[in-house]
Amino acid sequence: MHYPDLKMARIRTDKKVEIKNVSYDFDPSFQGKKYFLKTYGCQMNLHDSEEIRGYLEQLGYTKTNELSESDLVVLNTCAIRENAHDKVFGYLGRCKHLKREKPDLIIALGGCMAQEENVVTEIKNKHPYVDIVFGTHNISDLPKLILEHTEKQNIEVYSIEGDVYENIKYSRDSKYCAWVNIMYGCDKFCTYCIVPFTRGRQRSRLMENILEEVSGLKNKGYQEITLLGQNVNAYGKDLNLGYDFKDLLESVAKIGIPRIRFVTSHPWDFTDEMIDVIGKYRNIMPYVHLPLQSGSNRILKLMGRRYTKEEYITLFKKIKESIPNVSITTDIIVGFPNETESDFLDTLEVVNTCKFDSAFTFIYSPREGTPASKIEDSVSLEEKEERLQRLNQLVNQYSLEHNQELEGKIVSVLVIGINEKDHNKIYGYTENMKLVNFFGEEDLIGQIIDVKITVAKSFSLDGEAI
Beta strands 164-165; 7-11: pairing state: antiparallel
Task: Find which of ligand SAH, ligand F3S, ligand SF4, none residue 41 binds, CB within 5 to 8 Å per kind.
Answer: ligand F3S
Does position 84 interact with ligand SF4 (CB under 6 A)? The reply is: no
Distance CA 235, CA 232 (A): 5
3-state secondary structure of 228: strand
Does position 266 interact with ligand SF4 (CB under 6 A)? The reply is: yes
Q: What is the dihedral of CA 156, 160, 162, 164, to 10 degrees?
A: 120
Rounded least distance, CB 369 to ligand SAH, Å: 11
| Window 55 to 84, contacts with ligand F3S (CB under 6 A) | 78-80
Does position 367 interact with ligand SAH (CB under 6 A)? The reply is: yes
Rounded least distance, CB 160 to ligand SF4, Å: 18
Strand ranges (E), 189-326: 203-204, 224-228, 259-263, 287-289
Among 38, 87, 188, 452, binds ligand SF4 (CB under 6 A): 188
Q: CB neighbours of 409 closer than 8 A, spacing ≥ 6?
A: 452, 453
Which residue type sits at 15? Answer: K
Helices 272-280/309-322 angle, 10° precision: 30
Does position 446 interact with ligand SAH (CB under 6 A)? The reply is: no
Closest CA to 425 of 400, 392, 377, 460: 460
Does position 379 interact with ligand F3S (CB under 6 A)? The reply is: no
| Window 228 to 247, contacts with ligand SF4 (CB under 6 A) | 230-231
Distance CA 441, CA 425 (A): 8
Among residues 20 and 298, whose Cβ is nearest to ligand SAH? 298
Does position 186 interact with ligand SF4 (CB under 6 A)? The reply is: yes
Among residues 80 and 391, whose Cβ is nearest to ligand SAH? 80
Among 112, 130, 303, 414, binds ligand F3S (CB under 6 A): 112
Does position 293 interact with ligand SAH (CB under 6 A)? The reply is: yes
Query: Could you tell me how many residues of this chain bind ligand SAH (CB under 6 A)?
Result: 17
Distance CA 74, CA 76 (A): 6
Residues that bind ligand F3S (CB under 6 A): 41-42, 44-45, 78-80, 112, 194-195, 198-199
Residues that bind ligand SF4 (CB under 6 A): 186, 188-190, 193, 195-196, 230-231, 266
